[in-house]
Amino acid sequence: MSSRNPNLYLSIRRPVRPALLALAAAAGMVLPLMIGFISATLSPSVSLQGAVLCGLVFPAFLIAVLRPKLLVAYTLLVWAVSPELRRLIDWSEGTYHSVSLVSLAPLLAGAAAAIPVMAEIHKIHRVSSRVMMFFIAALGYGSLIGLAKNGMGSIYDLMNYIIPLLLIPYFAVLRFSRSDLDRMLRAFANLAVLVAAYGIIQYLTVPAWDAFWMDSAGMMSIGKPIPLEIRVFSSLNSPGPAATFLTFALVPMILEKRWRGALGWLGVLLVVVALLTTLVRASWLILIVMLLVYIGSSSSKGKWKTLLQILFVAAALFYIVPKLPGAEGLTARMETLGSIKEDRSYNDRLNLLNTMVPAVMGNPVGQGIGSVGQSTKLGNGGELGEYGIMDNGFIALFLTFGLAGGLLFFGGLGAALRSVYKGARRGGENGIYARLALAAWAGAVASLISDNGFPGMKGYLVWMLVGLGLGITQAIDRKEGAAHAATER
């Protein structure tokens, strides 16, 4: 549009930011009054949860209007701290809440990405549109089934799918520079170091609010609330999400100096040690797959550099881990990777696969969104439903979306893969972001053998890394298209 009629484009574009600023100012005046009025009608517990929720979410909407390129970093902060704030609230009241308003904070903060997306939607690239159409079709189908079968749980689950996917158009329309992306990845690394540091403190001391949550939630699989006998979950809500957060930050930290954060290699080692204390072996599968894919798609010189960095980390771990408190438990857990057929978790997942494949084939329509995972609590009195725990992501996706919806979902994954692979093959300075996106895509798909990581926090991390690779690839396409058009003229 801008090349054919720039005056028309400017007349459309100029009012957008002032309108958004006016909207933000109005919200800033009205929202405190609304909060005060609503809080007066609620119980003290719900009122406190609502105040914390608003305190976390409102800055996200201001950032989305004023500095939208900083929104992802802030949302990552909310993902990292909101579970800990929820535990502190419960501990301070002496009451455990199986469902809390604070749990909505990361999703609502992430939803603020819709503001810059809608303001700049005319800039979206056809590749991002094509990817999104697959997912929109799958989610639309799953929502129709879910609303009929699962009620309110389907709405919460739908938010967990849609809000991470907003990052695809977000990166497509805002056109991040390399320095913008480096700044974002460094912020992610710094947050991971903080999460890791608290995780190590948790492993050594077990703060009272974390112990209260473990006892109240009855999470027997994460050890005992005793120093050196706990499976670390840090400021997240369980060891799995904590390991996911640390893993997706660790890979960029290992690969490139510019993404390492303020503490450099010391930060890398802290994150690795904290990751070990989570005792989540699936995270090491994701880590290895992502590193191998990044190395395999690099130039010859880049391969050797990355391999040397990985060897450095491995040598440091070989020296440090045996000296850690509770090292016997850590090494014993990791040694089970070499005898996987004797492992209980492996055999449980194998039995699940044998049980659920006939169930999926016998119900090709699907159970709909809201039938699998944490969302089943909403329609089941705060307790997980029949498919609340599903340790196989492939089964979870086809159980949710049915055969037709599942194929559409994997069609979206295939469309994303084609684009980031194209960018990774180009090389150059922009190529490292496409290779990181390719590695994240491969890690996410590989992790489907253990769980469905596309909704929720893991989905946010996956689509953040894939989205920035898609965005930089599309920026190259635009430049090449403009250069070709100039040559023809």
* Domain boundaries defined on the chain: 19-112, 113-488
pLDDT(387) > 90: no
Tens of pLDDT, residues 218-235: 777 788 888 988 999 999
Q: Determine the Cα angle at 63 with ends 155 and 416, to 5°.
A: 55
Asked whether 234 and 196 are in contact (CB, 8 A), the reply is yes
For residue 2, the model assigns a pLDDT of 41
- Three-state SS string over 413-431 comes to HHHHHHHHHHHHHHCHHHH
Distance CA 196, CA 274 (A): 5
Alpha helices (H) in 175-280, listed in sequence order: 178-205, 208-217, 239-255, 264-278
Per the prediction, the chain carries an average pLDDT of 80
- Binning pLDDT at 50, 70 and 90, where does residue 97 land? confident
Q: Which of 22, 98, 171, 126 is nearest to 470 (CA)?
A: 171
Mean pLDDT of 366-387: 65
Mean pLDDT of 251-272: 91
Tens of pLDDT, residues 113-160: 999 998 888 778 788 888 899 999 999 998 888 887 777 768 888 999
